[in-house]
Structure 1
Amino acid sequence: MASISPSAGQKRRFSLPQGLPLKIGVLIAIGLLIAAPLLRILFETLAPNSISAWNDVVLSPLSRNLLWIPLGNTMILGLGVATGCVLIGGFLAWLVVMTDIPFRRTIGLMATLPFMIPSFATALAWGSLFRNGRVGGQTGFLEGLGLSIPDWLSWGMTPTLIVLTAHYYSLAFTVIAAALATINSDLVEAAQMTGAKRGRIFMGIILPVALPAIVSGASLTFAGAVSNFAAPALLGLPVRMQTMATRLFGMIEIGQSARGYVIAILLIAVSALFLWFGNKIISGRRSYATITGKGGRAKRFTLGTAKYPLFAAAALICLLTTVVPVVILIASSVAPSSSALFSNWTLHYWIGASTPTIAQGQAGVFYNPFIVSATTTTISLGLVVAVTGSILGLMIAFTLARYRTGFLSGTINQLSFLPLLVPGIAFGAAYIALFGAPMGPFPALYGTFALLVIAGTAYLVPFAVQTGRAVIQQVSGDLDESARLTGAGFFRRMTAITVPLASRGIAAGALIIFVKIVRDLSLVVLLFTPTTPVLSVLAYRYASEGFTQFANAITVVILVISIAATLLANRLQTKSQPWLKN
């Protein structure tokens, strides 16, 4: 009997849907990297020998110190920082975008810089200025001048609020400025022609348009503040002010992992709930169309006699949050003590040999083998995570851009941005839960460089995907489709078309990921071991042990690496996207 071969149409009918293997592969990758660790900490707390941790944390007599006081402090920090960031960021955004203030481009640039400075750097600078003798050790510069610094200004809630607001207001500035830039100047001019006063214009036109950005800025800064570990640890722990992040760190440090995982879950819930609430407000409001097909000219409010006082206020804010912390850190790294920042400078803490009479025999940064090793580990970690993060982000972005529809694409999209809802220290705890013990034939990864790379890659997936999307959008889908029809496989198309055409954008995105992991403390503070030292944790450890000069010198090294990489990334982005020059 003659065999009957299927027709071409029948072959196509039984072939896999286009992009399905890629979707499944990407979903497995991000499922293992993101969903699995988060599910593991939940299952750990529900195990028979650990479920009592929920009662300990939430309902027992211990809960006041384990949860409720830290939660109260965390909420105060989150709401206070969100309010301060919206006020400061919104004020600067209004000046830069809507008014005729002089040097507005310079102010706009400086307003974006504080977020480049790690929060622990700003906290260290604050301590070098305002630290008093309450907890012993070196006192700050102002007390060295003979001033009496009250405890509330040196330690606890007030300095932590100020430091975190100074660090995060750049986020609010960026999103609010972008919203204000979309306001049609014809609307403002029409209102002025009808005799509307500035207050009426602000409440009736500017505020409704900017409200989504204000809520978004508040949500982002709230989430950043409640998850921040560095500032509360450096300025709050010495006086026993606990937040959920510091309490989580303490539980893991003393081996009470189950209680720590419960706190991690609750911290994730607090951060996610506020972000969801912000999105709900935005999605539920009326929309206002502010961009039309007509060309428009920018019309700025004239400040009149208030121009220079407002400029002075804006310049002071920018100087205090960008230039001053860096100057203080540099001065402290060469001063014999924080109480005498600008006298008797020495380079011992940078290039000095081990001397028993100075810093308990610690050699300078460049001659200390442990610090040199930490520098090498940190740079290596940044480079490897930049590569792995860019590759993963590019694959996810390609999947979402080329195969948008379907349940799998929606799931990939949701999972890839899930780390934005998870505080870094909670994400680190999840990785300890998943990889802290052997799994079948796989050994425990805790204390290895591989765990730092995997955790860093997973945590920075959202930023990698955003960068990848920008890259994919630069390459026409027709090119990819034409290559596919000629028989080129996915990896062949990526290496021959997408990567070469968007190499500058990919490199810029990789540098951004590099900067984020190099200056991160919250994620790696729980994953740190003496065999895998990183600079950010080392700076925190030195500061906690009273070696202020070494902590500040290490922080300066981190700043130099971060700023150099950021400037290079901005240069590459400008070249890959010429419209940014305008």
Structure 2
Amino acid sequence: MATAPTKPFSPRRKRPSLWVVVPVLLLVILSALPLLYVGLRTWQAGAEQALHLLWRPYVMRLLGNTLMLLVGVTLSCMVIGVSLAWLLERSNLAGRRLWGVVLCLPFAVPAFVSSFTWVSLSSGFEGLGGAIMVMALSKYPLVFLPVAATLRHLDTSLEESARTLGEDRWGVFFKVTLPLLWPSVLGGALLIALHMLVEFGAPSILGLQTFTTAIYQQFELQFSNANAAVLSAALLAMCLLFLWLELRVRGTARHIRIGQGVARRAAPTALGRWGLMGQAYCVALTVLGSGVPLAMLGYWLVEGRSAAFPLAQIGEALLASLSLSLGGAALCLVLALPVGLLVVRYKGRLAVWAERLPYLLHALPGLVIALTLVFFSLHYVPALYQTTALLLLAYALLFLPMAQAPVRTALNKAAPQLEEAARTLGASSFTAFCRVTLPIIFPAMAAAFALVFLDAMKELTATLVLAPTGLTTLATEVWANTANMQFAAAAPYAALLILISGLPVYLLTTRMYLNKG
């Protein structure tokens, strides 16, 4: 039955209610604080002193280590991710569905946990080479998953046309397929590059000095030292550069298709005698990416049985991690909802700033955000310093973009006319939203809550700086025990983190591979 087209909702019909505007204004102010902090502290240091601090062999070494880690890990992940995606989506490799699940297991192991297992195996994995290997094995799913998804839904007509013009399979891949995959490849690669700029736990455990580890050390030695501010400004500049590159890639990517879509999948390439090499490749990545970390973790768990596990301390850390992550996820949703409403239904400059600033913060290290909150709380709201509330605020600023995307998508699909009908029956705007729209977008909110909760469980740097005295989490206990070479003591905390992180990764990959047609 044909339906009449509905009149599109105009985003400028009314001014937003106070319950929408007030939290958004608060979010914009809080999101601007890290930029103000870095600028203020660098200005206080003075241009001459800042230049003197940056032009030192020590800072050049930090820059070299950071960039070499970034380039090494990013390129490695691109090669691994694209090759795996092609093997699992375009070849006749045996067990492709099972490999699709197994090869994503490194996603469930936090990078600093994987680092501690490799270091406990041998000190030879410390340094730049070990860091590139460990981080690449941990991050390659960020390229593999989007490229595999793109290959699965790629229009094969262009590839078939190239074959009819005489191109062999390698020519088709490099001239046709790879250019179509390039936006997905670069998107994942730039995301990995941003992660490498702000990564703290893994380089610290692997003994590699980067900008982030140096900033943390400066904070430990003397919070007011100008070195920390200048290093933060340099790191912020690099983050902004890579964030700009990411936005450019995302903004210029275009996917054009003629017709209604692909009716069939591309015929798989027969590997022949190369099938055994493909199996060996998948086995090697599985053993190195998840087998060795899980085996070493199991070893240290068994080794630790000779001394009684501090069950009370483990329980306290688990409870603290759960409560902080739940609180941070809830606060993220409270802020994401009004931002989503303002962006989807009202637009305007405030909506633009409220949407983009949190994404900028997501590209900053948690350490810079933590130092910002310490500085402003000590100077303007001393009662907040060393409180759980300040730590929850840091979690909200760090992970808000993870809640914004699904909430905004759901709000785009929720018809505002339903709320208008409730308003005509006497309900206030807030009541109408709670009774009509909130139930519609609840599944998206639940997904956003789960994403933020899982990332907050693994958060390390902001927790180390902002946690109240005596409060520990699973992540901070892993880091503290590993720093003291107490690997058996770190094992139970690491195992709990993997168990909690592994469930959603398993559900995602089984839905993607084991249940696909």
Q: Normalising by structure 1, what TM-score?
A: 0.80
- C-alpha distance in structure 2 between counterparts of 1:372 and 1:288, whole Å: 50
1:482 corresponds to: 421
SS in structure 2 of the partner of residue 100 of structure 1: coil
Using the TM superposition, give the Cα deviation of residue 156 of structure 1 relative to its aligned residue in structure 2, in angstroms: 0.8
1:81 corresponds to: 73
Contact 2:414/2:440, CA 8 A, preserved across alignment: yes
Q: Which has the higher mean CA deviation after the structures are superposed, 453-462 or 543-552?
A: 543-552
Q: Against the structure 1 CA distance between its residues 60 and 224, is the aligned structure 2 distance closer, same or farther, given a 3 Å change threshold?
A: closer
1:250 corresponds to: 217
1:304 corresponds to: 272
Question: Given the alignment, which residue of 323, 338, 359 partners 2:291?
Answer: 323
Q: Against the structure 1 CA distance between its residues 174 and 484, is the aligned structure 2 distance closer, same or farther, given a 3 Å change threshold?
A: farther
SS in structure 2 of the partner of residue 530 of structure 1: coil
**Residue 365 in structure 1 maps to residue 307 in structure 2:** no
- C-alpha distance in structure 2 between counterparts of 1:163 and 1:24, whole Å: 44
Q: Against the structure 1 CA distance between its residues 110 and 475, is the aligned structure 2 distance closer, same or farther, given a 3 Å change threshold?
A: farther
**Residue 123 in structure 1 maps to residue 115 in structure 2:** yes
Letter in 2 for 1:226: L
1:454 corresponds to: 393
Q: Against the structure 1 CA distance between its residues 34 and 332, is the aligned structure 2 distance closer, same or farther, given a 3 Å change threshold?
A: same
1:248-282 deviation digits (Å, cap 9, x = unpaired): 00000011433212212211211220231344356
**Residue 30 in structure 1 maps to residue 27 in structure 2:** yes
Cα RMSD of the aligned pairs, angstroms, is 2.7
Using the TM superposition, give the Cα deviation of residue 166 of structure 1 relative to its aligned residue in structure 2, in angstroms: 1.2
**Residue 347 in structure 1 maps to residue 305 in structure 2:** yes
- C-alpha distance in structure 1 between counterparts of 2:20 and 2:406, whole Å: 19
1:156 corresponds to: 127
1:356 corresponds to: none
Contact 2:153/2:262, CA 8 A, preserved across alignment: no
1:430-465 deviation digits (Å, cap 9, x = unpaired): 222222x041xx324232111111100111110010
Contact 1:160/1:232, CA 8 A, preserved across alignment: yes
Question: Given the alignment, which residue of 154, 158, 167 partners 1:196?
Answer: 167
Using the TM superposition, give the Cα deviation of residue 23 of structure 1 relative to its aligned residue in structure 2, in angstroms: 5.5
Letter in 2 for 1:130: S
SS in structure 2 of the partner of residue 460 of structure 1: helix
- C-alpha distance in structure 1 between counterparts of 2:54 and 2:108, whole Å: 42
1:317-357 deviation digits (Å, cap 9, x = unpaired): 1342123312211211221xxxxxxxxxx5245xx1xxxxx
Question: Given the alignment, which residue of 229, 248, 256 partners 1:280?
Answer: 248
2:143 corresponds to: 172
User: Structure 1: which 5+ residue stretches go unaligned?
Assistant: 1-14, 132-152, 336-345, 353-363
SS in structure 2 of the partner of residue 242 of structure 1: coil
1:392 corresponds to: 335
**Residue 112 in structure 1 maps to residue 104 in structure 2:** yes
- C-alpha distance in structure 2 between counterparts of 1:454 and 1:214, whole Å: 33
Question: Given the alignment, which residue of 360, 376, 380 partners 1:434?
Answer: 376
**Residue 58 in structure 1 maps to residue 51 in structure 2:** yes
Contact 1:416/1:465, CA 8 A, preserved across alignment: no
- C-alpha distance in structure 2 between counterparts of 1:465 and 1:60, whole Å: 38
Name the larger-Rg structure: 1
Q: Which has the higher mean CA deviation after the structures are superposed, 455-464 or 384-393?
A: 384-393
- C-alpha distance in structure 1 between counterparts of 2:75 and 2:443, whole Å: 38
Letter in 2 for 1:274: F
Using the TM superposition, give the Cα deviation of residue 581 of structure 1 relative to its aligned residue in structure 2, in angstroms: 7.4
2:3 corresponds to: none
User: Structure 2: which 5+ residue stretches go unaligned?
Assistant: 1-11
- C-alpha distance in structure 2 between counterparts of 1:92 and 1:498, whole Å: 41
Q: Normalising by structure 2, what TM-score?
A: 0.89
Letter in 1 for 2:112: F
1:415 corresponds to: 357
Letter in 2 for 1:365: P
Using the TM superposition, give the Cα deviation of residue 473 of structure 1 relative to its aligned residue in structure 2, in angstroms: 4.1
Using the TM superposition, give the Cα deviation of residue 197 of structure 1 relative to its aligned residue in structure 2, in angstroms: 0.4
Question: Given the alignment, which residue of 87, 98, 101 partners 2:93?
Answer: 101
2:6 corresponds to: none
- C-alpha distance in structure 2 between counterparts of 1:446 and 1:63, whole Å: 34
1:233 corresponds to: 204
Q: Against the structure 1 CA distance between its residues 71 and 295, is the aligned structure 2 distance closer, same or farther, given a 3 Å change threshold?
A: closer
- C-alpha distance in structure 1 between counterparts of 2:48 and 2:30, whole Å: 29
Q: Which of the two has greater helix per residue?
A: 2
- C-alpha distance in structure 1 between counterparts of 2:431 and 2:79, whole Å: 50
Q: Which has the higher mean CA deviation after the structures are superposed, 474-483 or 115-124?
A: 474-483
- C-alpha distance in structure 2 between counterparts of 1:451 and 1:191, whole Å: 58
Using the TM superposition, give the Cα deviation of residue 96 of structure 1 relative to its aligned residue in structure 2, in angstroms: 2.0
1:524 corresponds to: 463
SS in structure 1 of the partner of residue 462 of structure 2: coil
1:79-137 deviation digits (Å, cap 9, x = unpaired): 11110111111111112222222222222223333233111111011012222xxxxxx
1:334 corresponds to: 302
The structure, 1 or 2, with the larger RCO (C-alpha pairs under 8 Å, 6+ apart) is 2
User: What count of residue pairs does the alignment treat as equivalent?
Assistant: 502
